[in-house]
Amino acid sequence: MQTAMKRSLFCALSILSVLNALPQRAPGREPEPPPVAVSSLPAGSEIAELARLKLLSELTPRLQRYSPVERRAIYLAIAVERRLLPSTEAIDLLQTLGSIEGFDRAARQLCGYGSPARDGALFELRLARAFVEKKMRVSAIRISWSNTPPRT
Amino acid sequence: MVEYPAAHLIGIECKSGAAPTDRVNADAVTLQHFVAKHPGAVAAFSFGAKPSALSQKLLELKGIAILLGSPKEQAGTLWKIASAAEKAKTEP
């Protein structure tokens, strides 16, 4: 079952194509893979099954074996499956904000079933998207102000 | 966190709802600490729903910009605030 799930998700993700642009990266973080042009999200019975898990504490361990890029796409696919946002918007968010620091946290919080953090994460992602459209550079999403080190 | 114009940080605290005033005040204080650590940085508070008059007054007193309306409207407001601040800095 798990092998079939992984295979099908990899098939869905294999259509991602790599762009030449350099990734945005905060100092001290692990290098991120280059931004990807995403044309679809993972779909199918596996995503439907994951979308039925209500607690993040149940969902998160199931996704540990995937890479950060794959996890982002899966989290968004789950949010789409739950009708939290349309798939076109999810793909657009992944394309435009996927490489920004904190996106992974926001994508994960989107899958918190009925959690206030879920609405906050979606609102913040939509706001960040609007800033990008206005040509303003978003350097981080969903960060804690108290832990932000001074930048030079 | 937004960087606009380049190298000018804008810390934005987002609330998808109106949020209770004590919560707004606590987050505004944390945001002020962030601004204090970053010379030249400015702060803004984004609301998904209209905040109470007291929350607005508190933010005004702390010099924190308030963003209201749809994400597009808020981006437009922030762009105007950042552009005006930049213009004021560069004008003799």
Residue A142, domain member (yes or no): yes
pTM for the whole structure: 0.81
The answer to the question of residue A97 being in a domain is yes
pLDDT one-digit tens code per residue, B41-50: 889 999 999 9
Distance CA A123, CA B11 (A): 16
Coil, strand, or helix at residue B31? helix
Q: Name the residue range of residue B15's domain.
A: 2-90
Q: Containing H/E element for A70?
A: helix A68-81
Closest residue of B to A136, CA-based? Answer: B4
Structural domains in chain A (count)? 1
* Nearest CA-CA distance, residue A97 and chain B, Å: 12
Query: Angle formed by the axes of helices A116-133 and A87-97, to 10°?
Result: 60
**A84 found inside a domain:** yes
Tell whether A28 is covered by a domain.
Answer: no
Task: Examine residue A74 and state whether it is found in any structural domain, yes or no.
Answer: yes
* Closest Cβ opposite residue B31 in set A119, A131, A145: A145
Domain that holds residue A76: 2-15+46-147
Domain membership of residue A82 (yes or no) is yes
CATH code for the domain in which residue B49 is found: 3.40.1350
Nearest to A137 among B2, B15, B72 (CB): B2
How many structural domains compose chain B?
1
> Higher confidence at residue B51 or residue A26?
B51
In a domain, A107, yes or no: yes
Look at A151 and B48 and tell me if their CB atoms are within 8 Å. Answer: no
* C-beta of residue B55 within 8 angstroms of C-beta of residue B83: no
Q: Of the given ranges (A25-34, A41-50, A92-101, A114-123), which has the lowest mean pLDDT? A: A25-34
Interface predicted TM-score (ipTM) of this complex, two decimals? 0.90
Residue pLDDT, tens place only, B9-44: 999 999 988 889 999 999 999 999 998 988 888 899
Does residue A32 belong to any structural domain of this protein? no
